[in-house]
Chain A
Amino acid sequence: MKNYQVIYDEKVGKDPVVKRLAELGLKDIMQSKYTTAIFVKLPNMQSEEMSRLEEILKKDNLILKPQAEYSLPKGEGFPKKDINSEK
């Protein structure tokens, strides 16, 4: 599964978009309260399948984008497995 977001127009509102995504069979969606995005998890798709989905959503004025990945700043962190191995 990969993390994507569907950006919608504020004027349209969230509910019709959620309904539309359900019609398209997109499951595992997370609604957001203060943003104009709905977060979805999509199975790994061939690029053709992905383009088709993007086109369908585009017709509904929805933009499908991958989510940004967040991490600790470069070089930081202390994974538990390291803690244990040093004990």
Chain B
Amino acid sequence: MKELAGYTILDFYRLDLDPEFFRAKKAILSTTDWNKFIFGLSGIIDKLQHGYLNKLNEKKIRPREGELAYLVDEVLANYRPRKNEKHNFEPRRKQEALIIELCDDSGCYSLKGDFGEFLKKEFEARINVHQYASAISLFCDGKESARILETFSKSSFSANAASYTKRVKRARRSNIFRLPEPFRPIRNIKKTEGLDWNLEDIQAYEAQEVTRGEKSLIGVIDTGVDYTHDELKERFGKDKGYDFVEDKEDPYDLNGHGTHVAGTVAGKKVGIANECTLLAYRVLDEDGSGSEADVIAAIEMAIDDNVDAINMSLGSPATSLPLQQVCSEAYKRGIFVAAAAGNDGNSHYNYPASLDGVVSVAATTRNRKKAYFSNSNDMVDIAAPGVDIYSSLPDNDYGIFSGTSMATPHITALAALGKSLKKIEAKELEGLLKVSGINIDDKDLSGYEIKLAQAYNLVKDLK
């Protein structure tokens, strides 16, 4: 997705080309609920990306990073949030997008080729020439925009352009808005219908009729956890875990990531195994970085604490012998270890996820497709929901994150459910997860078959 200083641009022109997208667009335009609007929008982006990737896949084209560029259009401009509605999609004041719609005599909307090159040259490569839209866009401040619009409206320009058989149909200004791109976390979200799609999709509610993970002890190795959160405070005993970053006994979360992950594992309302016990091991600092020594020390402490499962929503492209050794030790002791497959959207390995004895978790969407950002390779073992996941954030807050990090705690929670019913080794549990999962249609994109985990299917046989 093309991003400009943290702002993502959405191309709603292309939506009109597809009846499904067009219906979705109409639906979100008519809503008056900001939350629904956000989710409608992010659902569309997700679909759009899949559609786009599929299209490229059919043509055997590998999209370059940043190629998924979209134009701001009437959806955001037309939407009027109600008073006091909290959202973080503010127009960026000092910058705006110019949208210049073009057409030619044949009605062809692709601007690839000479004309695009001509425009790029004219505007020093700042212009975005969209492959699937009959429009170009460029970003500029208010002062520049008047001059550029004038240039486009000049007949001399049209005359020049005529040699390329294209002409300007309409040129206008548009605000640049911050959109719910997959990784942009959204906070201050009140729970509304449909936010728990992940719990429904993984059969969490049915499974909770059987078990809620009682007696299971789960280690969350992450940025720490806000153990005072209403969703989580009853899940922690006197021992909260350990902070390896600052070498102290208080593993409080200064980032938010670990609290979100822990919420999915065991949150009272937002979680799956909401009667298990948690231990938080803080190995990543407030910026989300940490050392190998701390990760290994945390796994070792979790082993010594006799946890039933370890969640590691973190990774590195580099592997190491000590990391494999400590994960193997956990595996030998029957501890279930789940880790995030990675968000690079390719088939690269991410560690510890791709180590032997570690369950590598990919992310899926509401439509039960692999999320476009999710890595997928021969070491990925299972998939779980990982787009628009609603969970806890520090200071009794809630928010939505996306990523394979968000998929991983679903699987860890399922391990907690399974282990609460039966003393079961990690290897057996991994096998049962795969057998009880359902196939998702992913082969066209990645070439690897991935199963979406199903909680009730897993626990009903262990009862």
Contact = CB atoms under 8 A, between A and B. Distances in A.
B314 interface: yes
Contacts, number: 152
B314 A72 contact: yes
**Size bracket, chain B contacts:** 35 or more
Contacts of A81: 286
B288 A79 contact: yes
A60 B315 CA distance: 32
A81 B93 CA distance: 22
A77 B287 contact: yes
Nearest to A41: B293
Given A32-B300, A70-B292, A70-B314, A77 B255 contact: yes
Contacts of B216: none
Contact of A7 (B284, B294, B318, B321): B321
Contacts of A68: 292, 316, 318-320, 323, 351
A86 B343 contact: no
A34 to B, nearest CB: 4
Q: Which 10 A-B pairs have the closest CB atoms?
A: A75-B183, A39-B293, A78-B256, A35-B322, A37-B322, A72-B288, A67-B292, A77-B288, A34-B329, A68-B318
A7 to B, nearest CB: 6
Contact of B342 (A33, A35, A74, A78): A74
Contact of A73 (B88, B185, B291, B340): B340
A3 interface: yes
A71 B286 CA distance: 11
Interface string B377-418: 000000000000000011100010101110000000000000
B307 interface: no
B252 to A, nearest CB: 10
B440 interface: no
Nearest to B315: A73
Interface of A: 3, 5, 7, 30, 32-37, 39, 65, 67-81, 83, 86
Interface in B303-325: 303-304, 313-316, 318-323, 325
B386 to A, nearest CB: 10
Contacts of B404: 73
A72 B313 contact: yes
Give the residue among B185, B300, B399 with the most A Cβ atoms within 10 A. Answer: B185
Contact of A78 (B283, B314, B344, B401): B401
Given A32-B296, A67-B292, A73 B322 contact: no
Contacts of B395: 83
Contacts of B255: 72, 77-80
A36 B290 contact: no
Contacts of B325: 34-37
Contact of A83 (B187, B293, B304, B322): B187
A38 B203 CA distance: 44
14 contacts: A3-B291, A34-B303, A36-B322, A69-B289, A70-B291, A70-B316, A74-B343, A74-B373, A75-B373, A77-B257, A77-B287, A78-B260, A79-B286, A83-B256
